[in-house]
Structure 1
């Protein structure tokens, strides 16, 4: 902060998405009229690698990010598994898992409960390979964590459970698929909690309509292709 010379006022900062908040700097510099567009370069070899990994697996391809650094962001593995089973029972397809190496046990807990085909990429990809996989995905289902927002930037439709963070401030930007808990302490941004009431409040039933809508649209496009 010592090198700053000017302060940009932000009206109602707690009511703005983080991207819109930071965009106030662009407006102050006179370039606020430029469209808010995410340009994530994915190398051709990364796309080829991802498609090679997935080529023999049935679509739709559902990317799952079941970990998060904060325990208060981690929707239960059983809930992810229930959502994945419903998706497979109705639409078929393949669930694949991405994330950091320390999230591998969570992914394995989910995969152990699945009936359909799945692939585990947790802790095995570099950033470009991760981008290639997410770029190939038909939908991303994830906690509020890095891969979710990378998928958004790549234009993938996303579904996300929001427990301790707020959709209006840190949801998947420009997308309607984030579902927020209704408990009294929602959006508190606490990193530890002894109660975690939000996890039982935010059931798979709450997220299924968003995921079903995305996959129904995918199925419709596939039939007409």
Structure 2
């Protein structure tokens, strides 16, 4: 009886090795492996020797090193199984994300929402979105109390009405009218709280008199 081909998954980060007797199991393990572990897969076929079928490439970005997995074209069975595993993994991640959003929405008491007001700026995460409202959890600068603000959806401009926007920190401002302008806050903006509005206006007045 002819010996069967085997697949070996090697993680360069910790030098661990796993062996599999079929392409499907090996591809699923490669899909689950973190790219930062720098995984590679080698197929060994009796009489033919070893063949590289999948690996990890290093990407140099603005924030440092990153890693990306890739699969070669020499082993169709492995590649097809990997593509299917990636689809299932993505669906699983989306399901977890959706469950997280639903759980977050249950934290909102829709009977205790406060309406947005002209002249105010609200900062905080988007908690839920309904057909009529964008619900945002805002922390009052003076009291430190958290309140859930109901923004009329039709009056808020520049809000990316996508499921992934829920949970992200946003600023929604009403400078002069009932029209609100939204923008997602960047990580650097979350490190420090915004200056109180009266202080910001005071600073602007000093600058104008210089």
Give the number of the structure with larger relative contact order, counting CA–CA contacts within 8 Å between residues 6 or more apart.
1
Q: Same fold (TM over 0.5)?
A: no
- Which range, TM-score by smaller chain? under 0.3
* Structure ranking higher in strand proportion: 2
Q: What TM-score results when the alignment is normalised by the length of structure 1? A: 0.25
- Which has the higher Rg, Structure 1 or Structure 2? 2
Q: What TM-score results when the alignment is normalised by the length of structure 2? A: 0.26
* Structure ranking higher in helix proportion: 1
